[in-house]
Structure 1
Amino acid sequence: MKPAYLAFTLSALVPSVYGWGANGHMTVGFVAMPFLSPKALSFVQTSLGSTYNKSLGPAATWADEVRSQTAFSWSAPLHFVDAEDNPPTSCSVSETRDCSNGECILTAIANYTTRVVDQSLSAEQIQEALKFLGAFMMFLGDITQPLHVEALKLGGNDIAATCSGSSSNLHAVWDSGIINKLLAANYGNSVNTWANTLVTRIKTGTYKSIASSWISCSSITTPVSSRRSIEEDIFDILVLRPRAITPLECPLVWAQDSNAFDCSFVFNFSAGQDLCTSSYFTNAVPIIEQQIAKGGYRLAAWLNVLFDGATNLP
C-alpha cells in the first residue's frame, strides 16, 4: 500500500495501570507531540482543546484516572495483555493464547483506531476515543512497559520489592518507582524536561540510528521485502474490515519486543535487593528511557498514518 493512496483513502474517513504511572504516560504523550504531521497535530489540538492544553501529554493519564469509575470499569482489562509464558526461562506473546476473549490492549488499539476517525460519533465521543487511543498507544506506551505484557504473579504485582527503602512490588517499581527517582535525580522532577531530552536523543542523539526500527511491524527475522508496515495495519483495520476488532500485527510485534525484557532483565534480581538504589536501578534506567521514547514515537507514527497517510518520521 503506497502512502499516497492510503492518504487518499483515509481522507474520506477523516474530518478536515497504570502502565508507567502518570509521569511515564505524560512523557510518552509529550514525546509524541513534536513528531506529529500537520493534519494529525491539528486533529489532536482541536479534539483535546484547552482542557488538555491541546497536548497528548496532559491527556495521557485520563484512561488510568477513569478506569476506577463504575462507568469505565469495563476498560480495566484493556490496559494490558496477560502473556502466559514462563519468564525468565521463556518469553512470548500470542494474541490467540493471551487475548482469546478479545479484551486486552491489542484489540483495544484496533477498536479505538476505528473510533477516532468515525464521523458518525459526536465530538465528545471522538475526544474520548483519542484519549483512549492515546492511552492505548500509551498502551503502546503500556505495551512498552514489560510487566503490562506479562501474566506471571499478576504482572509482578504479587512480587514484593523494595524501592529506596520502602516496601513496594515489582510492577509498581517499574510503573513509577524507578521513573520518579530518575526524574528527581536527573531532570529536576520535570516531565517536560525528560520528554525534551528523549526527543533530542531521537532527532540527533543516541536513538537517531535506531528509531526507525521502533516502528517496524515485523520480526527482525522477517525478510525486509515481506515486512508489514503501520500503513498496512491501519488500512487493513479501517478499509478492508471497517469497525471490526481485528488483530493487528504492529501492536503484537511491539508487545513481543517489550515482553522479551521480562526474560533478559526484569525478573532477574536478588531477594532483599533495593531495586531503586542498586545496580538494578542503574541497568533499568536505559531500558525504561528507551521504552518511553518508543511509545511516544510509535504514537506519533500511528496518528500520522491515520491523518496524513504516512508515518512522516525522521
Structure 2
Amino acid sequence: MKSSTAVISLLSAAAPLASAWGDLGHQAIAYVAQDFLSSETKSWAQDILSDTSTSYLANYATWADTFKYTSAGSFSKPYHYIDANDNPPSSCSVDYDRDCDGGGCVVAAISNYTGIMQSDSSSTDQNQALKFLIHFFGDIHQPLHDEALEVGGNDIDVKYSGSSTNLHHIWDTNMPEQYAGGYSLSDARAWATELTQSIKSGDYSDQSDDWLDGMDIDDPKDSAMTWASDSNSYVCTSVFSESQSQIEKDMDLAGDYYDQALPVIQVQFAKAGYRLGAWLNLIATGSTS
C-alpha cells in the first residue's frame, strides 16, 4: 500500500479490514436486486439458496464476511477488494494486471463465481457461489474497496460524531447508518424501497440504463473491471476530492463531509443492486430484465 502526501501524512496502527458497506448496505443492495429479478430468476435463486422468504437474497448478503474468518473461508479474504495503486486525488485508475495480485481480488472473484453459476457444478458449489456474488457486488461498489491508499482508508484515523474510527469504516458503516437511522434488516428494506423507486421513476430513472453499459455475461472480468473503475473514480472526486484532500488525524467527518458523501453512497447502493439484479437475470434467463 502506498501513501500520498497530497492526501494525508498520517498512519495508524494496522487495523482489521472493514466490511464494505456493513450489514445495512449489503442487505439494502440485495433487496434492490430482488426488486429487479424476473419471476423465473427469483424461483431459480430461491431454489439454490433453499429460501423462499421475502428476504431470500438479503439473508445471505453478509455471509461472505463471516465465512472469510473461518478456517474454511480464509482463502477468500483477498476477494473482497482490488488494490488500485493509483495516486488520489490527482489521478484514479484500476488496472487488472497491476492491481489484482496472485492472491486474487474482487474482479477475479466475480468472474470465477459467475462461471460456477453457469456450469454444472454441484448444488453446494452453486449455493456458495451465489452467496459470494450477492456480497461481492456490494464490495466492488464501495470506492475504498477499489483503492490501495492506506489499506483502502483503514489506516486513516478520523472521528465521526465524536467517536474514534477510520475513513474506511465511516464509508462502510457510520454514514449509511446515519442516513438510515439504524442498521436492522427492516432499515435496509426501507432504504432499498426508496432506491428502487428512484431507479424506476425517480432521480435515477434517466441514467439506470447506462449503468448496464459494458455488462457482458460472457466476459465477466471486463464487466467487473468496468464497475471497479466506476467506483474507484469516486476516490478522487468524493473520498479525496480537492475540497477534502487534507484529511487530518482525528478530524471529525460527520458534518460537511457526510453531506458531500451521501449522494455517492446513495447512487452506489442503487448501481450495485440494479447491476446485481441484471447479472443474476442474465445467468438464469439470458436477459437482464
The alignment's TM-score, normalised by the length of structure 1, stands at 0.80
What pairs up with 1:50-199 in 2 under 5 angstroms?
50=51, 55-101=56-102, 103-121=104-122, 123-137=123-137, 141-184=138-181, 190-199=187-196
- String of CA shifts for 1:50-103, please: whole Å, max 9, x gaps: 387561111100001111111100000000000000111110000010014260
Deviation digits for residues 83-141 of structure 1 (CA, Å, limit 9, x no counterpart) = 000111110000010014260001101110011232231x222111110111122xxx2
1:235 maps to 218
Contact 2:31 2:55 in 1 (8 A): no
Q: Does 1:19 align with 2:20?
A: yes
What is the CA-CA distance between 1:266 and the residue it aligns to? 0.4
For residue 236 of structure 1, report the CA deviation from its aligned partner: 4.4
Can you give the 5+ residue segments of structure 1 that lack an aligned partner in the other structure? 1-16, 218-229, 238-247
Match of 1:296 among 273, 278, 289: 273
The code of the aligned residue for 1:112 comes to Y
CA-CA distance at 1:29 after TM superposition: 0.2
Note closer, same or farther for the CA distance 1:148–1:188 as it changes in structure 2 (3 Å cut).
closer
Amino-acid identity (%): 42
Rounded to whole Å, the distance in 2 between the matches of 1:291 and 1:216 is 15
Q: How many residues align?
A: 267
> What one-letter code is carried by the residue in structure 2 that aligns with 1:303?
L
Amino acid at match of 1:74: F
AA aligned opposite 1:234: I
1:32 to 1:251, Cα distance in 2 relative to 1, 3 A: same
Does 53-62 or 207-216 show the bigger shift?
A: 53-62
Deviations 1:220-265 (A, max 9, x none): xxxxxxxxxx2xx32346xxxxxxxxxx211111111111111112
Superposition CA RMSD, Å:
2.0
The answer on whether the counterparts of 2:84 and 2:99 sit within 8 Å (CA) in structure 1 is yes
CA contact (8 A) 1:183 1:189 kept: no
What SS does structure 1 have at the residue aligned with 2:217? helix
User: Is the partner of 2:179 in helix, strand or coil?
Assistant: helix
Q: 1:193 to 1:93 in 2, by over 3 A?
A: same
Where does residue 243 of structure 1 map in the other structure?
none
Large movers: runs of 4+ above 4 Å: 51-54
Q: Distance between the aligned counterparts of 2:66 and 2:53, measured in 1? A: 14
Q: Shift of residue 188 of structure 1? A: 11
TM-score, normalisation: structure 2: 0.87
How far apart are residue 38 of structure 1 and its match? 2.6
Superposition map of 1:195-214 within 5 A: 195-214=192-211
- Taking a change above 3 Å as real, the CA distance of residues 76 and 65 of structure 1, as seen in their structure-2 partners, is same
Kept after mapping to 2: 8 A contact 1:24/1:175? yes
- Partner SS, residue 191 of structure 1: helix
Q: Give 1:170's aligned amino acid.
A: L
Distance, in Å, in 2 between the alignment partners of 1:103 and 1:66 is: 16
